[in-house]
Structure 1
């Protein structure tokens, strides 16, 4: 008895340079992965499998832009600047105003 092998479902996703550029631009604009999947009409697992580098590069661009904006705000001299500096210290360096300094004598 012979069985015919039928393939069902969608054909395999084939990324091209245009789609890679779209994913990187959307990720760089802080668009959530679920929304990117909706635009490309693919599953989140497929997005991460085929576009990991583009997602990482887009995320790095967003992070760099936010750090530059935070740095600009923190360079001011008002209360907002103080809160921005405190946030940056907590987020990037694990700083807390509740930790005590021990001075060795």
Structure 2
């Protein structure tokens, strides 16, 4: 005996559209509807193909309405994601170093020994 032909309802079409938009795998969608993959492909081809795009269009339409109504968060979101705006402040720091020559011959033996210990301590920390 042959299985009855599947007749999709508007509710089922909407369910498929929403599940596709949410990233649900086709195998899970077919299982949720109690049909096989071939039946899903045959009867819901449009929903499978356009579900994500239709959902995105609805979200964009809603976002744009919010922007038109003066929603600051929606406007900021749009500017960051669509207009390339960025938050934050960029600070550039330029460091200039001057090379100075020191005349170590004017140091006393004690000052040279103290400087040597300090230099060895600093160089030792780097290694």
2:29 maps to 1:29 = no
Larger radius of gyration: 2
Among candidates 38, 44, 66, match of residue 45 of structure 1:
38
Q: Distance in 2 between matches of 1:24 and 1:47?
A: 12
Q: Secondary structure at the match of 1:13?
A: coil
How many aligned positions are there? 68
Q: Show CA shifts across 1:31-81 (max 9, x none).
A: 01001011001111100100011111113357778xxxxx83xx458xxxx
Q: Distance in 2 between matches of 1:63 and 1:32?
A: 18
Instruction: Give the alignment of 1:58-69 within 5 angstroms.
Output: 58-61=51-54
Q: Is the 8 A contact 1:30 1:62 kept in 2?
A: no
Q: Distance in 2 between matches of 1:36 and 1:24?
A: 10
TM-score (norm 1): 0.51
Compare relative contact order (CA 8 Å, sep 6+) and give the higher one, 1 or 2.
1
Among candidates 31, 35, 47, match of residue 54 of structure 1:
47
Deviation above 6 Å: which 4+ runs of structure 1? Answer: 62-65
5+ residue gaps in structure 2? 60-79, 88-127
5+ residue gaps in structure 1? 1-6, 66-70, 78-105
Q: Distance in 1 between matches of 2:9 and 2:24?
A: 20
